[in-house]
Amino acid sequence: MEKRYASIWFPCLLANRKVRQDPALAHTDFVIAAPVQGKMVVKAVSPGAKAKGIKIHMVVADCKTMLPQLEVFKWEENSEHQLLKALGAWCIRFSPVVAIDPPDGLIIETTGCTHLWGGEALYLQDLIKKFSRMGYQVRVAIAGTIGTAWGMARFSPSTFIVPPHQEKTALLPLPPAALRLETPVLEKLSKLGMHRMDTFINMPGSALRRRFGNHFLQRLHQALGLAPEFIEPLQPTPPYFIHLPCLEPVRTAKAIEIALHQLLEDTCGRLKKEEMGMRACVFTAHRVDGKQQQLKIGTGRPSVNVQHLMKLFEHKLPTIEPALGIEVFTLEVLQVMPLVPAQDALWPATVTRDDVKLAELLDRIADRVGEKSIKRYLPDEHYWPERSVRLATSADDCSTAQWPAGLRPLHLLAKPVLIEVMVLVPDYPPKSFKYQGRLHKVKKADGPERIEQEWWLQQGHYRDYYCIEDETGARYWIFRLGHYDDVQQPQWFIHGFFA
């Protein structure tokens, strides 16, 4: 599901609260100040005083000269944070996922909530109305990313709802400050005359990183939805941990199996509702004598298939020793991932039921012989035969490199084997060679194909590869390491077999 976020900005957070506490202050100008290095410095300004030119970080004495009737209140440590927390808790009525965004904002994940208000516009209206009734000035914007919503709430003159996938267009007229950047970077940008986002948003990432640092690029990508950003909800989502107590200690294999099935069914039910899938989980049996026994499984793809998960546990279950009996079973999910719903393929890019079946098979194999024994190879950009393939890291991994174009043997020895050869002319393939105690006469030969050492990785001689055929028709891939000269005789190796 498309994620939607609302960012709420309180331009006068503390001042609004002060008025709420003491309505008599509604029409007076006041500041809230705290001592900093022996001076009283303004921390928050009332809307009235702000209109008269009082700003945050000014010294109170200066403000007094500008506005003699200004009232000054003492600032309390951490007051914004506590206030935001309280407001965030109140906002749970709008969405279950609310996070505070210090020093003066809230972030609400509105995904799947706005339709209850009849659309995002009405949702926004209701939010602003409720806050202003409480006496808080707010500016709210809804967008597909946290970064864009933040920038729109604070800097957008008119639009406050950004349709999905239009973050970039919405950001174009805004100043760079809408990207949540540090002051030095902002100063640098303004020095370069970049006062609007459209002046730099299309520049290549490498150039931006070089000039403004990694953090700048990350903020930009977060606003555009290219980099992930996470919020810490005030109400944390409960961990995937359930336990199943037994009326009486159980000892039989069947009972353990039933307990596991029950736990998996409950967990998968919840995961399915949240559109998540399990990647790894631990099943623990707590015994009467206080000892614990654990079984751990992992899957290659997020899964909520109880039968498949049961199968993964199947051959591990007999290793549980119930001894005097097991009192409590627990199941903890260690890793979850968004579940990609399976559907029949319309085009190859989507996940099909076939893929799921294959992934389940691979899970079972990985469970039995280890994950490392399953390999899929992709080309790598090296000519050196041992390095021209690399292992795929995931089922969806693909490479942009090309497979080597030259003739390659079907069997490659993991380590080239030294052979004794008889060579007539230095730059020619051998006349005969001895491999595993048998003499082979070379009848036909192709080559050489010279493959140089990649000096930035490894030092050594180059290899001259020959494809040769002996009198029985067996075809080999052999190479000479280096060349013949006055000092040394190069060694010959056999490296592979052709079909």
Partner 1 sequence: MLHTLQQEILSLQGYKPPPVQARYSMGLGIVESVFPYKVFPTQVVHELSSYNESEAAATNGFIAALLGKLLMHSRKCMWIAQEQQVYPPALRSFGIEPEQVIFVEARKPKDILWIIEESLKCETLVAVVGATDHLSFTESRRLQLAVEQSHVTGFIHRVLPRQQETVACAARWHIQPLPSITEEHLPGVGFPQWNVELLKVRNGQTGQWSLQWKSGQFCHLEKQSPALPSYPQLQTG
**136: closest CA among 86, 179, 95?**
86
Q: DSSP alpha helices (H): ranges in 248-336?
A: 253-273, 306-314
Q: How far is the CB of 491 from partner 1 (least distance, A)?
A: 21
Cα distances (angstroms) measured from residue 453 to each of 1, 369, 419, 466? 50, 36, 21, 17
Q: How far is the CB of 251 from partner 1 (least distance, A)?
A: 29
Helix (H, G, I), strand (E, B) or coil at 21: helix
Q: How far is the CB of 159 from partner 1 (least distance, A)?
A: 43
Binding flag, residue 376, partner 1 (CB under 8 A): yes
Among 115, 252, 275, 377, binds partner 1 (CB under 8 A): 377
Q: How far is the CB of 497 from partner 1 (least distance, A)?
A: 4
Among 26, 410, 418, 439, binds partner 1 (CB under 8 A): 410
CB-nearer residue toward partner 1: 228 or 348: 348
Locate 476 and state its tokens: 């080999």
**CB count in 10 Å sphere of residue 428:** 14
Angle in degrees, 0-180, between the axes of helices 205-212 and 183-191, rounded to the nearest 10: 110
Give Cα 74 distance to the centre of its chain. Answer: 44
Binding flag, residue 300, partner 1 (CB under 8 A): no
Among 193, 348, 394, 457, binds partner 1 (CB under 8 A): 348
Binding flag, residue 404, partner 1 (CB under 8 A): yes
CB-nearer residue toward partner 1: 47 or 379: 379
Secondary structure (DSSP) of 351-372 = --HHHHHHHHHHHHHHHHH-GG
Among 255, 412, 419, 481, binds partner 1 (CB under 8 A): 412
- Is residue 17 within 8 A of residue 46, CB to CB? The reply is no
CB-nearer residue toward partner 1: 20 or 431: 431
Binding flag, residue 342, partner 1 (CB under 8 A): no
- Is residue 167 within 8 A of residue 220, CB to CB? The reply is no
Which residues from 113-152 bind partner 1, rule CB under 8 A? none
Helix (H, G, I), strand (E, B) or coil at 174: coil
Binding flag, residue 382, partner 1 (CB under 8 A): no
Binding flag, residue 110, partner 1 (CB under 8 A): no
Cα distances (angstroms) measured from residue 3 to each of 159, 164, 230, 286, 322? 19, 9, 12, 40, 46
Residue found under tokens 């199941």: 331
Among 144, 225, 300, 409, binds partner 1 (CB under 8 A): 409
**39: closest CA among 18, 52, 24, 57?**
57
- Enumerate residues 6+ apart whose C-beta is below 8 A from 190: 176
CB-nearer residue toward partner 1: 71 or 446: 446
Binding flag, residue 7, partner 1 (CB under 8 A): no
For 103-250, strand residue ranges (E) read 105-109, 139-143, 241-250
Among 47, 379, 448, 482, binds partner 1 (CB under 8 A): 379
Binding flag, residue 473, partner 1 (CB under 8 A): yes
Binding flag, residue 47, partner 1 (CB under 8 A): no
Only segment of 42-50, 170-178, 324-332, 461-469 that touches partner 1 (CB under 8 A): 461-469
The DSSP letter of residue 8 is E
Among 243, 272, 291, 444, binds partner 1 (CB under 8 A): 444
Among 105, 144, 385, 490, binds partner 1 (CB under 8 A): 385
Q: How far is the CB of 387 from partner 1 (least distance, A)?
A: 12
Locate 183 and state its tokens: 């002051």
Q: How far is the CB of 443 from partner 1 (least distance, A)?
A: 7
Residue found under tokens 């079909």: 499
CB-nearer residue toward partner 1: 93 or 387: 387
Q: DSSP alpha helices (H): ranges in 280-327?
A: 306-314
Radius of gyration in angstroms for the set of CA atoms belonging to the chain, rounded to a whole number: 34
Binding flag, residue 280, partner 1 (CB under 8 A): no
How many residues touch partner 1 under the rule CB under 8 A: the total is 49
Bridging pattern class, strands 276-287 and 39-45? unpaired
Q: How far is the CB of 475 from partner 1 (least distance, A)?
A: 6
Binding flag, residue 425, partner 1 (CB under 8 A): no
Binding flag, residue 389, partner 1 (CB under 8 A): yes
- Is residue 363 within 8 A of residue 395, CB to CB? The reply is no
**Contact residues for partner 1 (CB under 8 A)?**
348, 354-355, 357-358, 361-362, 364-365, 368-369, 373-379, 385, 388-389, 392, 398, 403-404, 407-413, 443-446, 467-469, 471-476, 496-499
